[in-house]
Chain A
Amino acid sequence: METRPYFVLGDFAVNIVAGVVVASISAALFGPGWNMVLAMIVAMALGMLISLPLALLSGALFGAMEVMVPVMTTGMVAGMVVSMSAAMGEIAFGSAAGLGASSGVGVTVATYLANVVIKGRAVRWTS
């Protein structure tokens, strides 16, 4: 597990920013007129797309795949959560940004945990 403060703080900061950006855009684009499932699918794809340039830019500072994979996941999750909320009823930008930031923190923690679990599975490759 990554323990160097520069990278740990960087991982959380980049994912929170990605979550807030995607959530804000999703809140602006989606509303009660949308079918919830359609909104979710469109927002997930859009979230990944929007977060890609953020991942590439911040990757130059904090790492390649270690940044790109969770940031795109955050984009997908933040888009999904906010678009579904917006489809159910109006959502304020502040609330959307909060959901986006929470998505960023959640995905970062989940990625760190997944990393520990998946690393443990490498042993089965050993001949």
Chain B
Amino acid sequence: MDLVTRNKWDRAAANFDLMAGYGPEKRWAPRKRELFSRMGDGKILFLAVGTGLDVPFFPEGRNIVGIDISERMLEKARARTDLYRGTLELKQMDVHEMPFAEGEFDQVFTSCTFCSVPNPVKGLEALRRVLRPGGELHMFEHTGSRYFPFNMMMNLMTPLSRKVGPEMNRPTVENVVAAGFTLDEVQHVFLDVVKIIHARR
């Protein structure tokens, strides 16, 4: 397990809901609810559950495995996952070392995750491995921007932000393609910075 990343998110867990729990969640709620409505009847992997802020947006009755690298995050998430009406199993796990069988999942969902995975292409390749052929990847992610001055600000901020949490300038769409996924659709939620990405294995 990547201990540096685990420790960083263990430290962030205490104040995570304070920073992300109200404004960002309320702002993104309509788009997240729409995204997670795509959760089907098959087996679903949700990567980086965090403190479980997204769980209230999940449709009822699904079969979900939620993983996160931080045990502290998962401890906080349990209060929310216990209320979920369906199967939602939590596991502490590094995306780079998932013990799941090849093709075990029908769908994978991520939410503001690949700004923080240390090696994003390898992480996405690991997700591709555990998806069945034709299985779906659905992501809600913030990324870098192609446009000035937004790209300049994000490049300047990233050395600082990565010490406490996410990177601001990740090329996540390109990383999805580099990991071997077939891109179905990219929707811009805010500028070209916050995106919904739909792809297939």
Question: A residues touching B (Cβ–Cβ < 8 Å)?
Answer: 2, 7, 48, 52, 56, 58-67, 69, 72-73, 76, 111, 114-115, 118-119, 121-122, 125-127
Contacts and interface: CB of A to CB of B under 8 A. Distances in A.
A56 B19 contact: yes
B150 A69 contact: yes
Contacts of B27: 2, 7, 62-64, 66
* Majority secondary structure of chain B interface residues (helix, strand, loop or mixed): mixed
The 4 closest A-B pairs by CB, nearest first: A125-B186, A63-B27, A64-B24, A122-B188
Nearest to A115: B191
Interface string B164-201: 00000000010000000011111110111111000000
A118 B153 contact: no
Nearest to B184: A127
B18 A60 contact: yes
A59 B18 CA distance: 10
B149 interface: yes
B23 interface: yes
6 contacts: A63-B23, A115-B190, A118-B188, A121-B188, A122-B188, A127-B184
B156 A60 contact: no
A95 B173 CA distance: 44
A60 B173 contact: no
A126 B26 CA distance: 27
Nearest to A67: B23
Contact of A118 (B18, B147, B149): B147
B20 interface: yes
A69 B183 contact: no
Contact of B22 (A2, A60, A126): A60
A65 B142 contact: yes
A44 B51 CA distance: 36
* Majority secondary structure of chain A interface residues (helix, strand, loop or mixed): helix
A73 B156 CA distance: 13
A114 B61 CA distance: 39
Interface in B1-56: 18-20, 22-24, 26-28
B98 interface: no
B188 A119 contact: yes
Contacts of B19: 56, 59-60
Interface in B56-84: none
A48 B191 contact: no
A63 B157 CA distance: 17
B116 to A, nearest CB: 13
Given A114-B147, A126-B185, 20 more contacts: A2-B27, A7-B27, A59-B24, A60-B20, A60-B23, A64-B20, A64-B142, A65-B142, A66-B194, A69-B145, A69-B193, A73-B150, A114-B191, A115-B191, A119-B191, A121-B188, A122-B187, A122-B188, A125-B183, A125-B185
Contacts of B156: 48
Contacts of B18: 60
Contacts of B186: 122, 125-126
A10 to B, nearest CB: 8
